């Protein structure tokens, strides 16, 4: 299982869709819960612990890319993927090969809409004890607890989106300094 290509080897539409920031949608927690249930069912017996809603859509009042970010732990993500890959793909989740994702801390899945043009959710599947797990939860919780940090982060994201609308990687890098400052301040 892997991210499928479009016509003539082109990347699928969801891989190149334009990035946009949306105002907070109070339905995001409901969607996250539904996707979390779906992930739990698809990976039944292969996850240790709960599927957690992280990222900007998990912070009430914060504008975000309208893509639900979830994270989960599996003792052996590679074996889990091998065992349930066809079911995961049939449910609309696309595994992004690790050599394309280039983030050694996760196995990355994208939940796409029916026509494969729009991302609906991301799943960051990690091994137990992965430091990034706690960082993402800590960052989410700090934003939830502080209106000032939410506003600052919203401004960082708005600038990053304006500067890097067509480049998700650059958008992500533009937010890194702010995120690391918040995570380090809690350590």
| Whether pTM exceeds 0.75 | yes
When pLDDT is averaged across residues 62-91 and rounded to a whole number, the result is 95
| More confident site: 127 or 11 | 127
CB 121, CB 70: distance < 8 Å? yes
CB 36, CB 29: distance < 8 Å? no
Report percent pLDDT > 70 for the chain. 95
pLDDT tens digit sequence for 79-121 = 999 999 999 999 999 999 888 888 889 999 999 988 788 899 9
Task: Write down the domain spans for the chain.
Answer: 7-185
**What percent of the chain is helix, strand and coil (3-state, nearest 5)?**
50, 15, 35
Q: Looking at the domain 7-185, which fold is it?
A: Beta Polymerase; domain 2 (3.30.460)
pLDDT tens digit sequence for 113-142 = 887 888 999 999 999 999 999 999 999 999
Q: What ranges make up the beta strands (E) of the chain?
A: 52-54, 68-73, 93-96, 107-112, 119-126
Please give the distance of CA 57 from its chain centroid, rounded to a whole number: 10
């Amino acid at each position: 299982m892997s991210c499928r290509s479009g016509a003539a080897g082109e990347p699928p539409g969801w891989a190149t869709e334009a990035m946009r920031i949306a105002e907070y949608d109070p339905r995001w927690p409901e969607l996250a819960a539904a996707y979390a249930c779906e992930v739990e069912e698809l990976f039944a017996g292969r996850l240790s612990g709960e599927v957690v809603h992280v990222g900007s859509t998990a912070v009430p009042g914060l504008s975000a890319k309208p893509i639900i970010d979830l994270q989960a732990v599996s003792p052996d993500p590679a074996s889990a993927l091998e065992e349930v890959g066809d079911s995961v793909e049939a449910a609309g989740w696309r595994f992004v090969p690790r050599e394309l994702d280039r983030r050694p801390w996760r196995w990355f899945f994208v939940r796409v809409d029916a026509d494969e043009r729009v991302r609906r959710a991301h799943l960051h599947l990690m091994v137990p004890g992965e430091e990034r797990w706690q960082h993402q939860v800590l960052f989410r919780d700090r934003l939830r607890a502080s209106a000032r940090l939410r506003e600052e982060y919203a401004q960082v994201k708005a600038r990053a989106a304006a500067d890097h609308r067509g480049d998700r990687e650059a958008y992500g890098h533009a937010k890194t300094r702010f995120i690391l400052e918040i995570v380090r301040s809690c350590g």
